Chain A
């Protein structure tokens, strides 16, 4: 059985005074196997972020189901949601979302502290991942004292320290320079090689080309997908570019 199963997902936004309705997702279906590294691409306004928010249980869908390991995420009651997110999901955001008033170390500890873990356990986990992420020297510093790349690696550390089932990344390279982008993508590759399931929303072709599988969303539906298979990242990069061009020029639908 697939680890993540998304069925007939639908989301309609209604403006505050009940006026016009906007359909963000019309019918999204896909599934992700354990250990997969999937990128979701699409133009601005195609519903990528809406999809991610629903997967993260930050938003409720208008219709459809999202199963994580067989459990319907959309049916989890409000008061269990936070704990569910903490235990099963890890987040990496475009703008890092580190808290200025915590040191890097405490930012990484945040989800564990919320789960009520002991300091020794947290420290053990951190010393297990910090060297891999190259952040062991900046742990005592504050977010405003370190570079964007370092911030994002700290955010990754925060995402993986709970050993989540799934990492959800929302435009993780969006605010990074090319060198930091390169090293972050490499990091994602390494994490995936160790068995970590990753789902990344991006519109960077370069970022998507590092994934094992790319889904394209258009008009609120999954429009097309490409598997990397034995291709190199460069070949995948070309294929993605072609697909995007085709979507943009309004080509026919692939089956």
Chain B
């Protein structure tokens, strides 16, 4: 009796051994997929994320990435298992004929699935943990990212991975049972070698793909306002993903069929074999290729933008904090500003440092919707669709203007100087709060580099007559916006000629001095102080962490890409072997076989890379705008980062190509 019970596990083990040629790649795929999911999940659970720039968004995105990877694992393992089952149906048919009942077959398949599941989980988790640790060490070492994320073993990720993959293997088992349950032995025998039908052209899907992709691209290029862009971001990404899938599945078949109809093109030795071969192939490969394309795009966008943020940190700091020390207060009265300057001077003399490039002015900034005739300040009337017309208005006094520019302009009541960076504002006056202000002249971009302007929305600068006028604007604005109103701020900034540590020490002292009065008659000054050096320190952690995540996910996705490609090449090699044997008999030489393989593999291989390149090119203007939200405006740097990432990625891709093409050629010849 005990023999009978042991028979199935034994048979299953022998089956796996006997079918090692197809089973080994399958098990490898399972192991690496498990490892990948575990790694991404671990990263998403890493407590260090809280210190990364925009930690909320990053955590959310990583959570999404974990879910997407889980779903991807399900699809991918199903897909690879279907290959395996197709090859093995003949074997199962034979067992069936030789007297094994379907339920016995079920037991064998069950034992096989348990074996594979156990191996995948065990080895996958080990691989995942080791690789995870290794990647942390490697990336942190190579890129010298300070204060970034540290390796942490996540229990939750461990348990979730086990649960997910046990679930997937259960589904795979049920699917295998379903496949053999309702087939007669003869049908099973035949199915292994059944010729696959030519795929149909699905014009509707192809057209849908073009439309989706076109719409996604159009959105990416046309949206100028990054605030609006963020809200449309997910729609554009979704459209591009749908478009990519449609085009790879239906578009490729449609294109190949069109090529086949062009006799002058099709009936050439190279095209003849590759076009028909690829047409045949696209049916099972399109989804895999689309996956590769999307993964590659993600890698490129992630790595290049995080790299750019990391490298551009210095400039961004300069942009955000134009002076080493920036003091801002809401009490813009002259006494208050003088008090601030007094205390600063005393700290300066204590520390023996001197202030250079002093900057001091007051301003009011608020948003308004630009309409045909006037600026709308009624908060209830704005909608998302008008977000492109949102303007940031900066109001500054003439006194400050003259001081900063060294000019000697004068203004009357209800007269202003005006500056519009884009030069699109053509009217001669500004109507706002039911008042009209005559534009006396152009102010020029004198606020550029003062850290007050943001690049997110279009902005206008208005120079008003005096402090009284500025106060009036503030009151009117407060009346319109109520609780959401802005207030006038006074800014005092200067550079310090000292090292980072010294500057931070100065900053600490200054903070103490402002809030803890040292002499009689001194009150607490309500100010906020920004110090570039101290900001740099915390930014290194934030951007470094972001960069680390970019590299980490990028490497994982490259791994996934390589995996898919390798599996594809190997499994197809076995399918193509017979085809090439026939062609050899009909009169095809080694050279021709090699050339046709190259042209086929090359196309299949580089289609996703090409697709990713185009996606990235269209995403480029879009990402530059999103980066502008982080004050990252160096487009040249970003272009360099993007080109660099693409080049490195292409090199990786090429080496995988070399490897798989060799393996493929070895199999077919």
| 9-residue interface stretch from B63-71, B268-276, B314-322, B371-379 | B268-276
Q: Could you tell me the distance between the alpha carbons of A156 and B272 in the complex, rounded to whole angstroms?
A: 21
- The residue of chain A having its C-beta at the shortest distance from the C-beta of B269 within the complex is A114
| 9-residue interface stretch from B138-146, B342-350, B465-473, B588-596 | B588-596
B590 lies within 8 A of A78 (CB): yes
A113 contacts which of B198, B272, B582 (Cβ < 8 Å)? B272
Q: Could you tell me the distance between the alpha carbons of A143 and B582 in the complex, rounded to whole angstroms?
A: 14
Min CB–CB distance A172 → chain B (angstroms): 14
Q: A82-B592, A116-B268, A116-B269 are in contact. Are A99 and B583 (CB under 8 A)?
A: yes
Chain B residues whose CB sits within 8 angstroms of the CB of A109 once the complex forms = 267, 272
Min CB–CB distance B627 → chain A (angstroms): 47
- The residue of chain A having its C-beta at the shortest distance from the C-beta of B593 within the complex is A82
Say if the beta carbon of A142 comes within 8 Å of chain B.
Answer: yes
A114 lies within 8 A of B276 (CB): no
B587 lies within 8 A of A101 (CB): no
B586 contacts which of A91, A101, A117, A144 (Cβ < 8 Å)? A91
B268 contacts which of A81, A100, A113, A144 (Cβ < 8 Å)? A113
Count how many chain A residues have C-beta atoms less than 8 Å from C-beta atoms of the other chain. 34
A83 lies within 8 A of B276 (CB): no
Interface residues of B in 235-292 (CB under 8 A from A): 263-264, 267-269, 272, 276-277, 279-280
B272 lies within 8 A of A106 (CB): yes
A111 contacts which of B198, B264, B586 (Cβ < 8 Å)? B586
A101 lies within 8 A of B592 (CB): no
Min CB–CB distance B422 → chain A (angstroms): 57
The interface of chain B, by Cβ under 8 A from chain A, is 194-198, 263-264, 267-269, 272, 276-277, 279-280, 579, 582-592
Say if the beta carbon of A122 comes within 8 Å of chain B.
Answer: yes
Say if the beta carbon of A86 comes within 8 Å of chain B.
Answer: yes
Chain B residues whose CB sits within 8 angstroms of the CB of A78 once the complex forms = 589-590
Chain B residues whose CB sits within 8 angstroms of the CB of A98 once the complex forms = 582
A101 lies within 8 A of B279 (CB): yes
Q: Could you tell me the distance between the alpha carbons of A100 and B579 in the complex, rounded to whole angstroms?
A: 9
B263 lies within 8 A of A119 (CB): yes
Min CB–CB distance B88 → chain A (angstroms): 21
- The residue of chain B having its C-beta at the shortest distance from the C-beta of A112 within the complex is B267
Cβ contacts A69-101/B at 8 Å (1 or 0 each): 000000000110111011001010100011111
Chain B residues whose CB sits within 8 angstroms of the CB of A56 once the complex forms = 585
- The residue of chain B having its C-beta at the shortest distance from the C-beta of A82 within the complex is B589
Say if the beta carbon of A102 comes within 8 Å of chain B.
Answer: yes
A113 lies within 8 A of B269 (CB): yes
B588 lies within 8 A of A100 (CB): no
Min CB–CB distance B472 → chain A (angstroms): 80
Say if the beta carbon of A158 comes within 8 Å of chain B.
Answer: yes
Chain A residues whose CB sits within 8 angstroms of the CB of B272 once the complex forms = 106, 109-110, 113-114
Q: A81-B589, A101-B198 are in contact. Are A113 and B583 (CB under 8 A)?
A: no
Min CB–CB distance B631 → chain A (angstroms): 55
Q: Could you tell me the distance between the alpha carbons of A83 and B590 in the complex, rounded to whole angstroms?
A: 11
Say if the beta carbon of A58 comes within 8 Å of chain B.
Answer: yes
Q: A143-B195, A144-B197 are in contact. Are A58 and B587 (CB under 8 A)?
A: no
The contact sample of 5 A-B pairs, CB cut-off 8 A, is A98-B582, A101-B280, A111-B587, A114-B592, A142-B198
Q: Could you tell me the distance between the alpha carbons of A97 and B293 in the complex, rounded to whole angstroms?
A: 36
Q: A97-B582, A101-B279, A113-B269 are in contact. Are A119 and B587 (CB under 8 A)?
A: no
